[in-house]
Amino acid sequence: MTYDYLIVGAGLAGCVLAERLANESQRTVLLVEQREHIAGNAYDVRNEEGLFIQRYGPHIFHTKSKRVWDYLSRFTTWNGYTHRVLAQVGDRQVPLPISLATMERLFDRPFTAEQLAAYFEQRRVERSTIENARDVVVSQVGEELYELFFKNYTKKQWGLYPEQLAPEVTKRLPVRFDRDTRYFDDPYQGLPEEGFTAMVERMLESPSITLRLGTDYAQVAGCESYRRAIYTGPIDAFFDYALGRLPYRHLRFRFETLSAKQFQDVGVVNYPNEHDYTRITEFKHLYLQSHPKTTICYEYSGVEGTPCYPIPTPANRRLYDAYRARANELDNVHFVGRLAQYEYLNMDQVVERALDLFDWIRTSD
């Protein structure tokens, strides 16, 4: 049989496109995934204790886009979870992003919005040009908060100090002049009530979609017949690394199940300074699960594990652009998603790009 589309990768990008092409355009789709599961890095599953875990680190859906929210809401209801993050600083845990609540817990005194503005004004370090990620931080909040929250966390996360990283890594610091302790201020946020994997399963229910797990692109290229392809894997792998490898920062996850109802007060606690892990996630907060036990996950950043974060240096950008130029020469292959576009993208951005690509395909196919 000749499929209308081969889709490589059953993460969100691949699954949104499979769903749209099958259900909206009545196309036949062969969807191949090298792992033994769907949902890509958003994959979640119940462990042997019946507790939800996310194998590739904490994933919380949040978006400003009603279009994306409405689209995904066809396949799931949402659990209403609001994400909160604490940072362990010395002997106390304080909310992130930095707000009046953070400053009050850190310095044991009340802060008003005016006092916080004055605090920044006195400590901001003037920079005529912003040349690196350190400049971004110290020019907004000063050296003291830089040392407490950013310096060592960045070193742990990237293996480099902020002054060695491009300003884009930090972009703008979200600082709040109120006591809002939500991590994201997007109007739509939460987790799918039955998990991301169940949501994605529903997207793939059409009989026009043939899903093959444990199947690499290399196993079907040249063997299966299809008219067009959508590739959501690493762009450098598609071209057999002909121009070199695009580097990633990798993550390693260590899970522990404890005979305790609760380990920490919120879903994620960051460790900017102490310990070699960057953060600990306790999943039952995210899934609003009640259970006599709890599963936590220590997250380590390094050069081994799952490739997670593209490293944003000008040289890597140039290498990606060179691959992109090759990709643009191919008429019948589309590249979309975090690996194919070598860009850190949140789930809502990936869904939006997949929907945009579908709209484009629909008018041109």
Can you give the binding site for ligand FAD, defined by CB under 6 A? Answer: 8-14, 32-35, 40-42, 57-61, 216-217, 232-233, 237, 251, 308, 337-339, 345-348, 350
| Measured CA distances, 191 to 11, 321, 341 (Å) | 16, 34, 25
Residue 6's closest CA among 215, 236, 235?
215
Nearer to ligand FAD, 62 or 134 (CB): 62
Minimal distance in Å, beta carbon 33 to ligand FAD?
5
- Cβ–Cβ under 8 Å, residues 162 and 143: no
Minimal distance in Å, beta carbon 13 to ligand FAD?
3
Say which DSSP state 255 is in: E
Minimal distance in Å, beta carbon 354 to ligand FAD?
8
Nearer to ligand FAD, 19 or 135 (CB): 19
Residue 31's closest CA among 207, 187, 211, 215?
211
Cβ atoms within 10 A of the Cβ of 24, count? 11
Nearer to ligand FAD, 140 or 232 (CB): 232
- As a whole number of angstroms, the distance between CA 256 and CA 23 comes to 41
Nearer to ligand FAD, 199 or 347 (CB): 347
What are φ and ψ of residue 290, in 5° steps? -110, 130
CB-facing half-sphere around the CA of 358: CA atoms within 13 A: 22
Which own/partner contact pairs does 204-207 have at CB distance under 8 Å and 24+ positions apart? 204/10, 204/15, 204/18, 204/19, 204/31, 204/38, 206/19, 206/22, 206/23
| Measured CA distances, 197 to 138, 296, 350 (Å) | 41, 19, 16
Minimal distance in Å, beta carbon 114 to ligand FAD?
33
- Cβ–Cβ under 8 Å, residues 190 and 78: yes
Minimal distance in Å, beta carbon 238 to ligand FAD?
8
- As a whole number of angstroms, the distance between CA 278 and CA 159 comes to 12
250-266 burial code (b ≥16 CB/10 A, e <16): ebbbeeeeeeeeebbeb
Nearer to ligand FAD, 197 or 232 (CB): 232
Helix 113-123 vs helix 100-107: crossing angle, to nearest 10: 70
Nearer to ligand FAD, 14 or 312 (CB): 14
Nearer to ligand FAD, 57 or 195 (CB): 57
Minimal distance in Å, beta carbon 231 to ligand FAD?
8
Minimal distance in Å, beta carbon 55 to ligand FAD?
10
What are φ and ψ of residue 215, in 5° steps? -130, 120
Give the contacts of 228 (CB within 8 A, at least 6 positions apart): 4, 5, 6, 332, 333, 334, 365
Nearer to ligand FAD, 141 or 327 (CB): 327
Nearer to ligand FAD, 162 or 233 (CB): 233
Minimal distance in Å, beta carbon 118 to ligand FAD?
34
Minimal distance in Å, beta carbon 221 to ligand FAD?
9
